[in-house]
Structure 1
């Protein structure tokens, strides 16, 4: 409980100073946001955040972030296909941040982004999902408190239907990354949707599809709202890129377990094992 007395204000105290004081007081009483990051994918991801660093997340694991209040240009994303040594150095197929487990810079494309700015104009938080740097995993970004009920997501299977020129190992590039022209990067004030941005917008209507896509892609909640970011949320579809001579390992426990590998168009129905320690190996090779 906070008890405040204003008896020290007198008629000689400038009114504009009083307004400034109350404005600062109001801002100080707003709690900093907590952001919970959850991996709902069937595979391990290496979550990354600026500010925040990075952490490996196996399926169903969570990571809690407490970014500073008034954070601007905050980002959260999933890295895939990573390999780090004990010192935290390595590389990732998507979303790599200069080979560090604890990210200090933004990730390299393609990567689906959760972006946010806290306690900005009128004490509002601004947040979005962005495909401006491409797509690697489906994502949900939503409020996690009674202050706000906004829920945005990108759950389309973009990797499966990615245009040929934008295809990348583990994901789908944005055309700016591939072509680096004003048409796609919007380096000037003149910029219109393109056939590629329409592809991304069709798959993920809530997400930024190109840099000038503000009107349908920026969302707000009151300052102090808590949030959650979920990789591969319920209802999402993700087809992983299968490279040559890929070996997939799947644990089989239940009777008549079905293993579906969409891009290879292979469905395997296997009998149950008495122990969940058994594993079934599928070797794939593109022709």
Structure 2
């Protein structure tokens, strides 16, 4: 390898990384404070109208962003939340928050990202995501997706909890979890979101790698 080969290769690899870098802009449109959480990405208090940028590494997989409500953190950032809490402001890797919570999930890959909204772990705050570019790409699978319904207001009594609505798929003994089961309650209200496992055909979306996104609480 010539003396110039290694530096040139390093620059080339850095350009690839920059090309596929992704930013998620999290926006709180709710008329109340939401404590956003991300894995990877830690956590952030968002009053109405505030935003937070999450910048995961290229190739990040099985990642999620979610809203937390009713949090009470001490000076060290430790404390509980009514919904979605992990025991502290900055959720560590693998601390995915208590149920119920509305989830935005993603995997960043080449040539395309995979994205979805999931209600399998319940619902606490309406949520949407949208690509900031490339809309309509990949046969129309790259588009805005929303679960903007206040499911809490319609939640069946057996699933109601403080600040949210649980899903029988992750709350055993409260109903059936299947495409024709009790969990279909969520699918009827938010057709583009997961309400039970393996609903990929109607709940998974894709955009070209390197797309930036906006994730909105209370769209």
- Give the TM-score category using the shorter length: 0.7 to 0.9
Residue pair 1:111, 1:134 contacting (<8 A) in 2 also: yes
Matched ranges for 1:169-248 at <5 A: 169-179=162-172, 184=177, 192-233=178-219
1:143 has 2:131 as partner: yes
Relative to 1, partners in 2 of residues 1:86 and 1:26: Cα closer, same or farther, differing over 3 Å? closer
Aligned position for 1:247:
none
Preserved contact between residue 25 and residue 52 of structure 2 (Cα < 8 Å): yes
Q: Cα distance, 1:146 vs. partner?
A: 3.9
CA separation in 1, counterparts of 2:174 and 2:160?
18
Q: Tell me how far apart the structure 2 counterparts of residues 32 and 197 of structure 1 sit (CA, whole Å).
A: 36
Change in Cα spacing, 1:33 to 1:180, as seen in structure 2 (3 Å) is farther
Task: Please report how far the alpha carbon of residue 117 of structure 1 lies from its aligned counterpart in structure 2 after TM superposition.
Answer: 0.2
Pairwise CA distance, 1:116: 0.2
- Provide structure 2 residue ranges, at least 5 long, that are not aligned to the other structure: 6-12
* In the alignment, structure 1 residue 167 sits paired with structure 2 residue 160: yes
**Which protein, 1 or 2, shows the higher relative CO under an 8 Å CA cutoff with sep ≥ 6?**
2
How far apart are 1:112 and its partner, in Å?
0.2
Alpha-carbon deviations, 1:82-118, whole Å to 9, x = none? 0001110011000011x11001110111000000000
Q: Which residue of 2 aligns with 1:113?
A: 103
2:43 aligns with one of 54, 62, 79: 54
1:73 aligns with 2:62: yes
- Counterpart secondary structure, 1:111: coil
Q: Deviations over 1:223-260 (max 9, x none)?
A: 00000100001xxxxxxxxxxxxxxxxxxxxxxxxxxx
8 A contact 2:158–2:174 mirrored in 1: no
Matched pairs, number: 201
